[in-house]
Chains A and B, each alone.
Chain A
Amino acid sequence: MKTDNNAKAYWRDNIKYVLILLVIWFIVSYGAGILFKDELNTFKIGGFKLGFWFAQQGSMYVFVILIFVYVRLMNKLDKKYGYDE
């Protein structure tokens, strides 16, 4: 039987991870792809203007990475707090 404190600590760590990952989620899509795209468009990688690239390519790659990072972090967290199965 797990104690309540264990569950609370697990939840706090979980929320911390989620917040950090969502901040990155926001920065790449709404930040780089929309709000600051004009500034970023002054840079180019290959034929891509950077803001345009984030909006139509980069943000999506980051989304995939974010979910897999979350999966890894949470699997570790589950083990740490004994919720693994």
Chain B
Amino acid sequence: MMNRLFLTTEMDVQTWTYILVGLTFTLYIGIAIWSRAGSTREFYVAGGGVSPLANGMATAADWMSAASFISMAGIISFAGYDGAVYLMGWTGGYVLLALLLAPYLRKFGKFTVPDFIGDRYYSKAARIVAVFCALLVSFTYVAGQMRGVGIVFSRFLEVDINTGVIIGMLIVLFYAVLGGMKGITYTQVAQYCVLIFAFMVPAIFISIQMTGNPIPQLGFGSELSDGSGTYLLDKLDGLSTELGFAEYTEGSKSMIDVFAITLALMVGTAGLPHVIVRFFTVKRVKDARKSAGIALLLIVILYTSAPAVAVFARTNMIETVSNQPYAKVPEWFKKWEETELVVFTDKNSDGNIQYLAGDAFIKGENGKFDFNQPNLSTKNELYIDRDIMVLANPEIAKLPNWVIALVAAGGLAAALSTAAGLLLVISSSVSHDLIKKIVKPSISENGELIAARLSAVGAVCIAGYFGINPPGFVAAVVALAFGLAAASFFPAIILGIFYKRMNKEGAIAGMIVGIVSMLLYMIKYKLGWLDDVLPSKSEWWFGISPEGFGTIAMLLNFIVSITIMKFTKAPPQEVQDIVENIRIPSGAKEALNH
């Protein structure tokens, strides 16, 4: 017995990863078989009888993507205070969702967001514009998830990134196609448990290690446990300025940009179709409100830990590498070097790592760093990819192997749950909004179910393709999916609920102006397709970055909608009656297949 225990603690990271990833995947597949969908109602909205707690957990898992799990703490650890845009932006949207959208959309009681837009604005054109926006938003988002799956597989299971993407595709395909919303909801409940456990265990371990406080949220505001009496944040501020970075708790973005990005992310969150559609799955309007609260509570557990993890990781990382001899770097450093996510160049040939502010390498034509060209204008000798901070954190802190493997399983749970939710939106947009509502209304229930499954297969293949062959702009565009959602759906839905007089002319014009202006700004200032070189920051309108432009595009949408509405005729009486009706919570019927 003792011997066996000894063996298990000695097992290497890779064996642990195989075991944990294998176990969790078996669990997901088992749940998918148990909860497969038999009708379109089950496929689109899980039959409409999901409990608020299960829906809250599923929403949280759906919401927390590879970006939240893998990248966010890393981004914060390099951005310091500025990381708040993601923290507030990706949580504050739930307040808008709970107060302004979810209850009314649940009462409305259809299957998809384009359903609402199409019926509320009594127009096929509005529905088509909404379908287009939903597909654009969801595809930009899902490609990034598949990529996240690939990165985790390649680093921890040492398979090729592309093989990783294909394995991920097959798993998602299996349970999204078989189970539809019902299968996805219950696998997401399991995935929430896996990912939150995987995120919190290392966070708690490291918090105890560094500050003696087991609660990371308090730990990063505590004194260091080395007996020096210094606060952790003060120490990190000191280290940062010493090495030439901006003070950690101050940040470097302009106030107006922080404001605009936060607002764009919040409003975008409330406008994302894969989040909104979750609130169609509960029974009553009051359940929709409650499950929004539960979802946010479950999300905030991770989101308030992430800035703590960021501070721990940043401090640990600086102390482990700064001015240390390269010959003596730890194991994790060498492993990440193999994937070129950590790259060192000894500019002054002293054999030590100088980690300072500034780019260590020169950027090539494609906008990525060229690791053969050290940037001699700075003294910084080290490139560290922000995405590895969460994955490498347990190794940097020398935590046990099973914890490291757990993080890999958690990253996969986060990426898969979000990918599945998005694929469902894509497939229901095609089978329900396009085929059933526009192309072939006579299609039978079974025919629609087959169409839904086929479009899920198609969507997985396209997503996988982009995961394997990421066009240079995918990563750039994922963050902008929020801007697109903010610019298109949010105003149309809000006005549809709170402004009875809003008509189709106003809403359609608003959505088109919103999404086109967002796309143009993005193409000009993020992708640089309109000029020979990417325009510099000084040319941004009002100093607002492409990430924050969703706020401006949303305002444009509101202004255009209301102006056009003033000059066109009021919506028909029956539409005004719908609006009256959704404002009253009682009598929410099950989501109907109308």
Contacts and interface: CB of A to CB of B under 8 A. Distances in A.
Interface of A: 2, 7, 10-11, 14, 18, 21-22, 25, 29-30, 33-35, 37, 41, 45-49, 52-53, 55-57, 59-61, 63-64, 66-68, 70-71, 74-75, 78, 82-85
Given A7-B580, A30-B262, A64 B300 contact: yes
A52 B220 CA distance: 12
Contacts of B255: 34-35
9 smallest beta-carbon distances between A and B, as pairs: A47-B231, A55-B84, A67-B293, A47-B221, A83-B586, A48-B221, A56-B307, A46-B221, A52-B249
Nearest to A52: B249
Given A34-B259, A47-B232, A18 B284 contact: no
29 contacts: A7-B580, A10-B583, A25-B92, A29-B88, A30-B263, A33-B88, A34-B259, A41-B249, A46-B221, A47-B233, A52-B84, A53-B221, A56-B76, A56-B84, A56-B304, A59-B88, A63-B91, A63-B300, A64-B293, A64-B297, A66-B99, A67-B95, A70-B98, A70-B99, A71-B286, A71-B290, A74-B286, A75-B286, A85-B586
A55 B289 CA distance: 25
Contacts of A18: 99-100
B296 interface: yes
Contacts of B221: 45-48, 53
A83 B88 CA distance: 33
B586 A7 contact: no
B95 A47 contact: no
A32 to B, nearest CB: 10
A56 B262 contact: no
Interface size on B, as a range, is: 35 or more
A57 B219 CA distance: 12
B95 A63 contact: yes
Contact of B296 (A67, A78, A83): A67
B326 interface: no
A64 to B, nearest CB: 5
| Highest count of chain B CB atoms <10 Å: which of A37, A55, A74, A82 | A55
B547 interface: no
Interface of B is mostly: helix
Contacts of A60: 87-88, 91, 300, 303-304
Contacts of B584: 2, 7, 10, 83
A34 B255 CA distance: 7
B376 to A, nearest CB: 35
B289 A70 contact: yes
Given A22-B95, A67-B292, 8 more contacts: A35-B259, A52-B249, A55-B84, A61-B304, A63-B94, A67-B296, A78-B586, A85-B585
Contacts of A33: 84, 88
Given A64-B297, A71-B290, A74-B289, A25 B84 contact: no
B214 to A, nearest CB: 16
Given A7-B583, A34-B258, A63 B296 contact: yes
A74 B217 CA distance: 31
B428 to A, nearest CB: 27
A14 to B, nearest CB: 8
B539 to A, nearest CB: 24
Contacts of A10: 583-584
B99 A85 contact: no
A11 B583 contact: yes
Contacts of B245: none
Contacts of B587: 85
Contacts of B585: 74, 78, 83, 85
Given A57-B217, A78-B586, A46 B88 contact: no
B296 A64 contact: yes
Contacts of B583: 7, 10-11, 14
Contacts of B286: 71, 74-75, 78, 85
B223 interface: yes
Contacts of A66: 95, 99
Contacts of A56: 76, 81, 83-84, 87, 304, 307
Interface in B102-140: 103
Contacts of B71: none
Contact of A29 (B262, B297, B580): B262
B222 interface: yes
Contacts of B346: none
A27 B474 CA distance: 35
Nearest to B587: A85
A48 B99 contact: no
A35 B262 CA distance: 12
B92 A29 contact: yes
B234 A67 contact: no
A6 B562 CA distance: 28
A85 B284 contact: yes
Contacts of B94: 63, 67
Contacts of A55: 81, 84, 87-88
A18 B587 CA distance: 22
Interface in B188-245: 217-218, 220-223, 231-234
